[in-house]
Structures are given as structure tokens and as C-alpha cells.
Amino acid sequence: MNYLRTAMLLAAMTALFMGIGYMIGGQGGMMIALLIAAGMNVFSYWNSDKMVLRMHHAQEADERTAPELFHMIRQLSANAGLPMPKVYIINNPQPNAFATGRNPENAAVAATTGLLNMLSEEEVAGVMAHELAHIKNHDTLIMTITATIAGAISMLGNFAFFFGGNRDNNNPFGFVGVLVAMIVAPLAAMLVQMAISRTREYAADRMGAQICGEPMWLASALNKIAGGVEHIRNPDAEANPATAHMFIMNPLSGERMDNLFSTHPATANRIAELQKLAQSGLGSGGGYRPQATAAASSYRSAPYGQSASGPAPSGPWGGARRERPRNDAGDEPRRPRGPWG
């Protein structure tokens, strides 16, 4: 049922795109819009993942630059029955993550340094399992195409300001049509885009909990991410709002209302559903196995991507080592131990 609803929403967005073309240029404009929409869908199928990763300045990581994260995703991918996706790191303090790619064989997952620094190993595993669920469900292609069409509708709305204001331009609605194209159409595209995102998030939460084996890992992560997103801006997301629905949580604001203007379901509602899964017995083991190793402990004692002895040689996110405070005797205070040390 969710896939049928998603297909209907995508059809509605394409129809909206054609409708704007008709308002701007009549039947000729509608046909041009149809051709543009078809071309954009083809282009998005092959290139949208690269575009989104470039928009957010994501840099590819490997076993050398991010060994713990890379091994985690490899184990989770095996649990999900997926090929290993490419792994990317985004140098951004806001905790967030997304997945992209036209199919499981050409997929990528991206996490911000904020997410990797703020969350425990188990919580990161819950988030990455959620993103792998999007890949397994083929949501990534739908979401990237939706982002492309939504951006194009906004672009056409801007074009309407310069074209179609009179009958000479084959505009059957005159100035009223221009206003609709400029204001109403982009708003409608945003609503459809958000509806598609909300449709897929609950399904990804459920499958992600099954992949990692512990629903409460993701529930705890969502709670932390919600607080971080509310207080930390994401400039790249603000510059590319059409990609907001791809993230595990809306990167544009701390919006938590489950209504038409939310790119994601309410965080409290998502956590409640995960709690129901945990109570039903899911989470008894058999999923991801945290790496409680000395290497992981020393790795987590410094910012993500840096060793305890100093910055990583050439990690994709870089950054200087942050000095930890010391007491009067010159000793570092004891840190509470967690899954990463």
C-alpha cells in the first residue's frame, strides 16, 4: 500500500510540473514541461546521488580513514542482505545522515561528523541500519527524483515571473496563472514531497530496527538527533532545501509536528513505534554486534576521524585535535565509559 501511495504522489508531482507549464505557455508549455520532466527523471536516475553528495560536500571514506564506521556498515549490510554501499562523511556539526543511489548496487550512505561525535556506537548502528533500510526498500531513487522535480517546480515558478503574464505568450490564465505558478505550485510540490518522505520513514525505522536487532538503539539516536538539529544549523541543507526529506531528520529546523508541513513524522511518534517493536520481542539479539575493542575505545576518546594520539593522517573530515581539560595535577579527568570507551 505504501508503494502504491508513493507512486500516486510521484504521478501527482509530475502532473503538477506539467500544469505549471500549461499555466505559463498553454499546451505548448505543457508539452515542453513534460519533456523536461522526462529528461530530468532520466538524468536523476543516473546522476542524482552524485549531485546530492556534492551539494553537502560529502567526502568518501574507506577502511583506512574511518575503519570503525566502515566495518559497522559492512556488518549491517550483511545483516540486510545488501552489497556494501559507498561510505561518505560530511564535515558538519549537526547530527544527521542520509542514503542515496539509484539501486542497492549503486548506493551510498553519508553521516555527518556531528552525528558520529554525538552518538554512541549502538546509536550510530541504529541510524546506519535505518539508512540501509531506505536502500533495501529502493526509497533512495524515489527520494532523489522527488527532490529534483521539486527543485524544478520551484525553478519554473521563478520563470513564471518573467514569462506568461499576457495572452501573447500563450498563457490561458494571464496574471492569475503567473501567481499560481509562482506561489501555489511550489507550495503544492513541497507538500507532495513531504508526504512521500513521511510515507517511507516509518517503514525504514521498522526495517532498520530489524537490521541492527535493537529498536531502542534507533529510538535513542532519534532523541539525540532531534535535540542537535534543533540547535545546530546546517548551511548546506538551508541552501538546498529540496534535499531535506532525504535526511533521517529534517535538517532545516527542529520541527516536530506531524502535519502537512513536516518533512518527517513527529520524533515522538517514531520513538513510540520503535518502543512497540521492542516490547513485541524484537531486540533479543542476532543483529549488529558492537566492537568493544581497545581500538574502538581509543578511537572514541577523540573527535571522530582522529586517533587519541593526534589527527588522522589524511581523514576526509580532518580538523585539529581538541585539547581536553585537565585538573590541577595535570591529569585528564576520567571519562564515563560507553560502547566506544
Burial track 116-135 (b if 16+ CB lie within 10 A, e otherwise):
bebbbbbbbbbbbbbbbbbb
CB 229 within 8 A of CB 251: yes
Place of cell 554512541: 120
Annotated binding residue at 245?
Answer: no
DSSP element (H, E) containing 97: strand 97-101
Q: Select which of 122, 123, 131, 214 is catalytic.
A: 131
Residue 131 designated active-site: yes
Annotated binding residue at 134?
Answer: yes
Contacts (Cβ under 8 Å, ≥6 apart) of 233: 94
Annotated binding residue at 122?
Answer: no
Strand partners, 210: none
Three cell numbers, residue 17:
510540473
Q: What φ, ψ does residue 111 adopt, rounded to 5°? A: -130, 145
Q: What is the 3-state secondary structure (H, E, C) of 149-171?
A: HHHHHHHHHHHHCCCCCCHHHCC
Range 302-310, long-range pairs (CB < 8 A, 24+ positions) = 303/113, 303/117, 304/66, 304/113, 304/116, 304/117, 305/65, 305/66, 305/89, 305/113, 305/116
What residues are designated binding site for Zn(2+)? Answer: 130, 134, 201
Q: Active-site residue numbers?
A: 131
Where is the binding site, in residues? 130, 134, 201
